[in-house]
Every structure is written in C-alpha cells, then in structure tokens.
Chains A and B, each alone.
Chain A
Amino acid sequence: MTNYNKILDECIDLILNQNYGIEDCLAKYPELQNELSQDLQLATSVNNKLKSTINEQTKARTKAIVLDKFNSIEKNQSRTLRNIPSIFYKGIPPLISRWSSIAAAILLFSTLGTTTLVSASSDSNPDENLYPVKRAVENMRLRLTFDAEKKNELRLGYSNKRIEEITVMADKGDFEQIDVLQKDLEKNIEIISNNENKTVKEKIFQELKEGYITKEEAEKFFEQEKSEYQDTNKTYKETDITYPRKERIMKLKHYIENKELKIKELCEKMEKFNSSDFQEKMNKIEKNNPERWHKMKTRQESLLVNCEKHIEKHAIYKEKLAKLMSEKVTTKYMVP
C-alpha cells in the first residue's frame, strides 16, 4: 500500500504540475492500471471542478490592501523603535502619514513617469485592469489636498464617477461590482454628511440624487424589464426570461464553463480514439477478443454522441449569453 500511495502521489504531481495525462501515468504503471485509473480520474475531476478562476481586479485590490498593511506595520515599528514618549508624538502620526503619502506620490510619478498610465486609467471601469490605478490616484489626490472645501469637491467628483461606474456595471449585469461600488459611494456620502459647510453639503446631495441607484433598485429594474419582455415578446416569454437577468447571466456563464470542461475532458479523448495507434490496437483486439472489442466500440460511440451534445449545448448557451449581454438597459436605470 505504501508503494501504491507513492505512485499515486507521483502521478498526481505529474498530472497537476507537469501536464501529464492520466494515460501517460497508466502507461508508466500498467500493473496498477485499474486502481490508479479510478483514483486519477477522480483526482483530476476534483481539480477541474473545484479550481476556480480568480478575479484579477479583486486580486489587485487585495494586494494593495496587503501592501498598505505592510507599510503601516513598518511605520508603527519604526516609530516604536524611536522610543519617544507618547506625549511627544501624539500629534505626529497624521503628519507622518501625510508626508509618506507625498513621498509615495513623488515616487509613483517619478519612477513610473506615468502621466500616460494615470490619464489612461481615469476612464477605466471596475472590470478593467487599469481601474486600481485610477482608484490609487484618487486616494492619493485626496490625501494631498488639505483644504476642506476642495477635498469635498474632490469627493463629489469621485462620487459621480462611482455613479457612472455603477451604471456601466448595471449595463453589463455585473451586480457584484455594483455592490462594491455602492459601498464605496456610501462611505463617501457618510463623510460628506459630516461636513459642516451646509452649502457644500446641499450641493453634493443634489448632485448625488440625480444619478444614484442602489443594487436593489437596479435589480427591480431588471424585474420590470423582464415583465416588459413577457408582455411584448412571446419568444422571450416562452424560452429565455424565466427569472431575473442577473441570475440568468450567472447561470449561463456557469453552464458555459461547465460545458468547456466537459468538452475538454471528452472530446480530447475522442482525438485519441481517432489516432492510428489506437486504431491499430483496436484491430488487434477485434481479432483476439471480439467481446471486449464490442464493448470498447459501444463506449466509443456513446462518447462521440455525448461529446457532440456538449458542443451543441455549449454553442446554444454562448449564443444566449451574447444575446443577453447585448441588450441595453442603462437608460432605464437613470430614470430620475
């Protein structure tokens, strides 16, 4: 058993990390073919099904949080090392924080020389790679602005940007992003609410009122849109719109991903069946063991049928998703 465990472990490594196929491992250990085949199929199945695709934008944000945390810990440590009695440095932290921001800004602009990068990022949306740069620049500007009124104007500008982004995300049906943006926006509103200058406060709220939409409202509009389709378009009523658009997009993406895995799993095997080596092997089996040949042939045929079905479904799902994504719903959200 110990030996089998080692072989199984080695094969899992080869398959997961070195692009070996199950067949390659079985060929290496033909005496363990039966047991190994079952374990390796299950192992690759677990790997394929449970390994998820990472959201690059979330990763970038998390990375920024982690590095920010690292900086603040380092800062605290160096402060402690100086061993200054607290009474003397009570007022220093905000200054340190501010100067470090300035240093970071100078570093960012000088090392990257990235006016192009920064301006390119200014129109980016949350599902784009440059978006974290846009947010970093915004944060930097906020930190470098010392005048309270100017700071609030900046906040207002950024709030409007969030609203625009929410609209774009709503258009794409990406409710997860709406949720994140909504939280950011609400944080901004909270800060603005604490503003002592009434004129600034009112101006800001007036502007916010004109464009702000919550996730719940967006979902409500999707519902309305659904019923509108049901009244006007019979084809939609019968086939596609059986539940809200958001769910539908999510499920279609899930089905497409699932079919892609199936196609990879089954149809690639079909290629092997068509190879001359395999045909030769089959001819030999046909002569020596007709019963086995018959079983193998039946299995091969059912695999082909399955493979074709998956390809067909995959195409249908992709078409449905494309249709759904191409629908414009933005204007409906912007009803004042």
Chain B
Amino acid sequence: MTGNFTKNDITTLFEENYEKVVNYIASRISNMSEAEELASDVFVKALEHIDGFKNKGIPIEAWLYKIAHNITIDYYRKKKYPTINIEDVINMESYNSTEKKVLENLDKEEIKIALSKLSSLQQQVIQLRLVSGLRSKEVAQIMEKSDGAIRELQRSGLKALREILYTNKIFITEDSGR
C-alpha cells in the first residue's frame, strides 16, 4: 500500500483518467506528443506526493487535474518549448496554392488561440468540461468553486469564445445559425 492506495487503485485511476488528462493538457499546449509526456509527469508526480494527498477532503481525480494544471503552467513558465504562432501555422499549411480553404483546416489551432484569450478561469472550465469531458461537479471540486460558479464560467466562456472567433472571422461554419 502506498498511502491508502493499492496497485489496482492506481491502475484504475490511470485507465480512467489518462486520456482526459492528455486532452486537458493538449488543449493548453500545441503539441500532442509533449502533452502525452507531460501527462506522464502528472501521474508520476501524483504518486510521489500521494502521502501528502491524504485527508485533503477532495477526490483524487480532482487532485490529479490540479497537478496537471500546475504542470502546464510550469511548462509555459520555463518556456522550455516555444508557443505556437498562428502565422507559422498558416505558412506551414499553405503548401498548396490550389488549396483555397486553408483556414478550414486550421480550426483546431485557431480555437486554441481564441481559447488562450479568455480569462484563465474560463479557459480552465472550458478545457476541463468540453475537452476532458468532466462533469461540472467534478470541475467545481478541481477548481474549488461552487457548481453555480462553474456553470456561469462555462456560459460566459462560451460567449466570449464565440465573440473572439466571430471578430476574427475564424468561426466559418456552413451550418451556423439555424
């Protein structure tokens, strides 16, 4: 036993959360393989400090995402890796002059860039809720806020995101507006 956890507990924790943690980190940084590497750091760090986790009064999953959040912040703080520049993406993608709708293929990076312009709380809610697929209650535990506050951040975050995407004429959806 490590802390109060058995090997089975750790395996279950890993299986249930690995994909969500990777997606959460990948929505904050631009490189998938680096996100997977950072996710590995999250689980290792969690194990290293598992004794300190006991009696914190929050579920272990919530604690895991807190670590993921901090590790991602450290990643940027150290500036170990360059952040993505939208112009670079456009240059890289526009290899074929006959490809007219280049922007269409940029949605992913552009959404990430638009997301980075939201307040940090809105960003975190959108990433945990919509990318990792956690429920509001779980997000509330991770962010130590009420369920109501999370729902409000979710609504205001989506509104702000839509405004940014529309202002930059990025949100090209053939089927938008019913």
Listed in ascending order, the chain A residues whose CB lies under 8 Å from chain B are: 1-2, 4-6, 8-9, 12-13, 16-17, 26, 33-34, 37-39, 41-43, 45-47, 49-52, 54-55, 58-59, 62-63, 65-67, 69-71, 73-74, 77, 176, 242-243, 247, 251, 254-255, 258, 262, 265-266, 269, 299, 302-303, 306
Contacts and interface: CB of A to CB of B under 8 A. Distances in A.
Given A5-B148, A43-B158, A47-B130, A54 B19 contact: yes
B84 interface: no
Interface majority SS (helix, strand, loop, mixed), chain B? helix
B53 interface: no
20 contacts: A8-B151, A8-B154, A8-B155, A9-B154, A33-B178, A37-B178, A38-B176, A41-B176, A43-B130, A46-B115, A46-B131, A50-B127, A66-B40, A67-B7, A69-B48, A74-B1, A247-B92, A251-B95, A258-B108, A262-B104
A133 to B, nearest CB: 17
Contacts, number: 155
Given A8-B158, A47-B130, 17 more contacts: A5-B155, A8-B151, A17-B135, A43-B158, A51-B133, A52-B35, A55-B33, A62-B36, A66-B43, A67-B10, A69-B44, A70-B2, A243-B95, A251-B93, A254-B105, A262-B104, A302-B174
Contact of B111 (A49, A55, A265, A299): A49
Given A54-B19, A251-B93, A62 B154 contact: no
A26 B18 CA distance: 33
A46 B161 contact: yes
Contacts of A66: 10, 14, 40, 43-44, 47
A17 B133 contact: yes
Contacts of A39: 155, 158-159, 162
Contacts of B167: none
Contact of A49 (B19, B40, B43, B108): B108
